[in-house]
Structure 1
């Protein structure tokens, strides 16, 4: 069984904030990915005496940044869509809530597919699985509420 704290909103927020920070560094857009990784790791290693440059560069080179940017956008949209779903659920618009949760659920699948299409191992497989499963739970609850089945 997975530790539920691994998928807490705070940990997801931190992960995507770090990804967004990396994606929007002040480095030039014409620099290739390898240069961005090396410059980022070099800058960070200058900031901290315990920072491991080698670990940083090897770790970040293994993560395809174009795929992560796509997933960041997908998850950002999914987050807004889930807020809309909660609003619809609160006023009894179960069909709308169902559509919104289903759309958010697609973010996990689309993110995973983006890595697969590039022949890469998805760096967010666990998060995608968790999002998909949580949306599936929400869809079940919405279905039960729409049928007025008592809990």
Structure 2
């Protein structure tokens, strides 16, 4: 390593930290950059956030590329989560229409259906709290939904040999919750002008 590397690295580190991880002052910066920056920062701060999953979640959502700042991206993350939870609830109820289900699996699915049905109004509360800047309240609501996805999976695990048809769905909900929670964690640390510019 050359002797010049140290000062250069220090300058780049200082410049990056001083400009803020989500500062959006450049009007030409694309929403793709915002998504990449946000997902990178969140995945570094939270082991439950996978960078690739995070980026794909926003890019596959119709409004995912419309965010102009971190605050808007956080709100979109709750919309994505809400759509996913609603779809998961419908998925569970669809499986429950099968009259030949194993009784134990049926009981687990009924519990999951209730958990996800309850999560939908909880997410509405989370969105309202988020919109009002009550991030601590939104955090509580989102953590409740995250717990619901884990609880659903735990039911199947209690009986050895039981195969859960919910594993992928539960994992997606869990990781989407982690994304929303991580973005809010960043928002609480940033000055308002950086989060909304």
Where on the TM-score scale, by shorter chain, does this alignment land: which range?
0.5 to 0.7
CA contact (8 A) 1:63 1:123 kept: no
Q: Is the 8 A contact 1:105 1:132 kept in 2?
A: yes
After TM superposition, the runs of 4+ consecutive aligned structure 1 residues lying more than 3 A away are 1-5, 7-14, 60-63
In 2: Cα distance, 1:13 partner to 1:124 partner: 10
Q: Which one of 171, 174, 184 corresponds to residue 132 of structure 1?
A: 174
Matched, 1:144 2:195: no
Q: Is 2:143 the partner of 1:102?
A: yes
Flag structure 2 segments of 5+ consecutive residues without an equivalent.
1-51, 61-80
Q: CA RMSD in A?
A: 2.9
Report the Cα distance in structure 1 between the residues aligned to 2:116 and 2:87, rounded to whole angstroms: 14
Pairwise CA distance, 1:80: 1.7
Q: 1:62 to 1:121 in 2, by over 3 A?
A: farther
Q: Of the two structures, which has the highest relative contact order with CA contacts closer than 8 Å and spacing of 6 or more?
A: 2
| CA displacement at 1:121 relative to structure 2 | 1.9
Q: How many aligned residue pairs are there?
A: 115
Can you give the 5+ residue segments of structure 1 that lack an aligned partner in the other structure? 24-35, 38-59
Tell me how far 1:61 sits from its aligned partner.
4.4
Residue 112 (structure 1) aligned with residue 153 (structure 2)? yes
TM-score (structure 2 length as normaliser)? 0.50
Q: Distance in 1 between matches of 2:107 and 2:113?
A: 10
Q: 1:11 to 1:96 in 2, by over 3 A?
A: closer
Render the CA deviation track for 1:19-76: whole Å, top value 9, x for unaligned.
45x28xxxxxxxxxxxx42xxxxxxxxxxxxxxxxxxxxxx44981000000011111
Matched, 1:71 2:139: no
Which residue in 2 is equivalent to 1:91? 132
2:122–2:145 contact (8 Å) kept in structure 1: yes
